[in-house]
Each structure stands twice: as structure tokens, then as C-alpha cells.
């Protein structure tokens, strides 16, 4: 199937070209050329070439999709490994919290006491 020329006012088309400075014979030639393009069916070789191009592009897209699918699978595996590592680290850190908290409080108390002495003596 081929494209058909859309319906439009040919007189207005020619007059618009003439108003833009195109001589009348050229304006009519423009219209005739346009009508010929829309009224002639595409050639078999052109259609065959377009079909070959589309098949080639589809093949490329399928290859790209296959590559992306593999990369997403790898990312999923890496994410699962990271999740496992985070869970392991949480387990290792949990007992340390109870060891660190009293030390931090003790250090904080001695820091505040030291600061109070410094302010008192040097203020």
C-alpha cells in the first residue's frame, strides 16, 4: 500500500507559492511533483531495502536486550551479595554497641570534666 496525497486546496497552494515570489509555472510544477510523489507506489526494491533495514535494526535491538538482561542478572547477584555482607556486618557490630556505649559515656564525662576545669582556671 502506498501513501495517498492528502486533500488540500491546490489553488491556494499554488497561490501561496506565487505570493512568496515563486513564478506561477514553478509553483504549478511544485504541485505536480508533490502529487506525483504521493500518487506513485513505492518500488519493490525500496520496500525490500526498508524491510532488510528493519530486520537488521530488530536484530540489533534483540542483541542489546539480551545483553541488558544479562547485566541486570549480574546486578541482582551483586545486590544479593551486598545484602548478605550488610547482614553479616550488622551481626558483627551488634555486640560491639554494648561495649562502645559505656566507653563513650565515660569518655564524654571525662571530657566535660576536663573542659569545665579548663574554663574555670583560664576564664
Residue extents of the structural domains in the chain: 42-122
63 has a pLDDT exceeding 50? yes
Mean of per-residue pLDDT scores for the chain: 82
123 has a pLDDT exceeding 90? no
Q: In whole angstroms, give the CA distance from residue 74 to residue 100.
A: 38
- H-helix segments, 6-43: 10-19, 24-39
Q: Which of 8-12, 69-73, 103-107 has the highest mean pLDDT?
A: 69-73
pLDDT of residue 96: 72
95 exposed, middle or buried (CB, 10 Å; 0-12, 13-18, 19+)?
exposed
Q: Go through the chain and tell me how many residues it has.
A: 123
The model's confidence at residue 112, banded by pLDDT at 50, 70 and 90, is low
Three-state DSSP state, 20: coil
Amino acid at each position: 500500500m502506498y501513501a495517498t496525497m492528502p486533500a488540500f486546496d491546490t489553488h491556494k497552494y499554488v497561490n501561496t507559492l506565487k505570493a512568496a515570489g515563486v513564478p506561477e509555472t514553478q509553483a504549478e510544477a511544485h504541485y505536480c511533483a508533490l502529487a506525483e510523489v504521493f500518487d506513485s507506489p513505492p518500488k519493490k526494491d525500496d520496500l525490500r531495502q526498508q524491510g532488510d533495514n528493519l530486520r537488521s535494526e530488530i536484530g540489533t535491538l534483540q542483541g542489546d536486550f539480551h545483553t541488558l538482561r544479562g547485566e541486570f542478572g549480574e546486578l541482582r547477584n551483586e545486590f544479593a551479595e551486598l545484602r548478605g555482607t550488610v547482614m553479616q556486618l550488622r551481626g558483627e557490630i551488634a555486640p560491639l554497641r554494648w561495649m562502645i556505649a559505656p566507653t563513650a559515656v565515660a569518655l564524654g564525662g571525662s571530657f566535660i570534666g576536663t573542659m569545665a576545669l579548663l574554663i574555670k582556671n583560664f576564664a
